[in-house]
């Protein structure tokens, strides 16, 4: 297991924008937020340029990401925003030599492409956690800002999830399951399928979340994962938040029925209740660190190591 370095005051934080652009005021808000934490934001000039789809063209987005990865004076890459664009950078990343020192990558949603790459190809641990401009826009409640601060500055070395709900018999039987978490945004994970960077779920708990995907689309992705063998040798499936995705006819989503069928059909444990994804509360989920899952009296309890050290 690789470790990332706990934050210290005056640390440089490399800010990148591999997906959609952030608005100028949100970039400034992000800068102010990092300064408030007594960190040195490094937000390169020209990071965001007008583009029909991304925060900048592929070459520029990659140039800034590469510089952040290779900078010798920083240990952190915090993504400004999700959106779409990171997966286009993966073939370019794959041409880089594996860095000597691991860094901490922070982000979610579109950033799932990068998490999958750095954990699988470079063996990094990483942090599925709010994108920087969410802090910059003051969308994080003080309690959760504190949790994030405690994790990053090393006030704690683990994160507890106490609201994990077992959805099938295999899940209700789980005792002291030692594993690691992989996953992220379901739709972004789907876009790794069949590529050299396909999500590897072996000996892992697969965590997925999504926004705006209807039940049948979630079902289709799960079916694809099943056909591709992703639920074999996988320790379990954990649902994060699924938001949006209403059926046009009923204005309600049909997730409950979709998940219920999967809980019945899968022979691996299936859970829900990881407070992470696109909902209001977006708790940090460390990827590729050790974790332990227990179920007692029908309640799941997950403890994940942050992967940080001094």
Distance (Å) of CA 121 to CA 29, 72, 81, 97, 113: 33, 20, 23, 10, 12
101 catalytic? Reply is no
Minimum distance of its own copies from residue 117's CB (angstroms): 11
The 181-200 contact track toward its own copies, x by CB under 8 A, reads ---------xxxxxxxxx--
* Assigned token pair, 224: 């694809």
88 is a contact residue toward its own copies (CB under 8 A):
yes
The nearest distance, CB 187 to its own copies, in angstroms, is 8
SS3 of residue 164 by DSSP: strand
Angle at 254 between CA 250 and CA 256, to 5 degrees: 145
Find the binder of its own copies among 216, 252, 281, 309 (CB under 8 A).
216
* 213 catalytically annotated: no
CA distance 223 to 10: 47
Q: Round to whole Å and give the CA distance between 219 and 222.
A: 5
Among 211, 228, 268, 303, binds its own copies (CB under 8 A): 228
113 a catalytic residue: no
Closest to 170 measured CA to CA, from 296, 261, 270: 270
* Residue 124-163 contact track with its own copies, rule CB under 8 A, x = bound: ----------------------------------------
Subset of 23-82 contacting its own copies (CB under 8 A): 52-53
- CB-CB neighbours of 257 under 10 Å: 11
Interface residues with its own copies (CB under 8 A) are: 52-53, 83-84, 87-88, 90-91, 190-198, 215-217, 219-221, 223-224, 227-228, 254, 257-258
């Amino acid at each position: 297991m690789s470790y990332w370095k706990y934050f210290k005051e005056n640390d440089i934080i490399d800010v990148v924008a591999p997906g959609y652009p952030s608005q100028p005021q949100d970039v400034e808000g992000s800068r102010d937020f990092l300064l408030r934490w007594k960190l040195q934001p490094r937000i390169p000039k020209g990071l965001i340029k007008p583009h029909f789809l991304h925060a900048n063209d592929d070459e520029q987005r990659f140039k800034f990401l590469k510089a952040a990865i290779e900078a010798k004076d920083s240990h952190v890459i915090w993504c400004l925003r999700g959106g779409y664009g990171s997966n286009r950078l993966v073939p370019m990343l794959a041409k880089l030599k594996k860095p000597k020192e691991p860094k901490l990558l922070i982000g979610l949603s579109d950033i799932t492409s990068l998490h999958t790459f750095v954990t699988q190809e470079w063996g990094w641990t990483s942090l599925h956690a709010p994108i920087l401009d969410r802090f910059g826009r003051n969308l994080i409640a003080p309690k959760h800002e504190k949790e994030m601060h405690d994790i990053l500055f090393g006030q704690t070395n683990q994160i507890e999830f106490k609201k994990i709900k077992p959805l099938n018999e295999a899940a209700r039987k789980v005792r002291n399951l030692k594993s690691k978490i992989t996953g992220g945004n379901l739709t972004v994970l789907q876009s790794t399928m069949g590529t050299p960077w396909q999500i590897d779920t072996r000996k892992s708990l697969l965590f997925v979340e999504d926004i705006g995907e209807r039940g049948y689309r979630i079902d289709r992705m799960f079916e694809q994962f099943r056909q591709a063998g992703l639920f074999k040798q996988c320790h379990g499936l954990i649902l994060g938040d699924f938001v949006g995705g209403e059926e046009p006819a009923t204005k309600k989503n049909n997730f409950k029925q979709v998940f219920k069928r999967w809980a019945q059909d899968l022979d691996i444990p299936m859970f829900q209740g990881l407070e992470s994804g696109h909902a209001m509360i977006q708790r940090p989920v460390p990827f590729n660190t050790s974790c332990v899952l227990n179920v007692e009296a029908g309640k799941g309890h997950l403890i994940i190591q942050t992967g940080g050290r001094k």
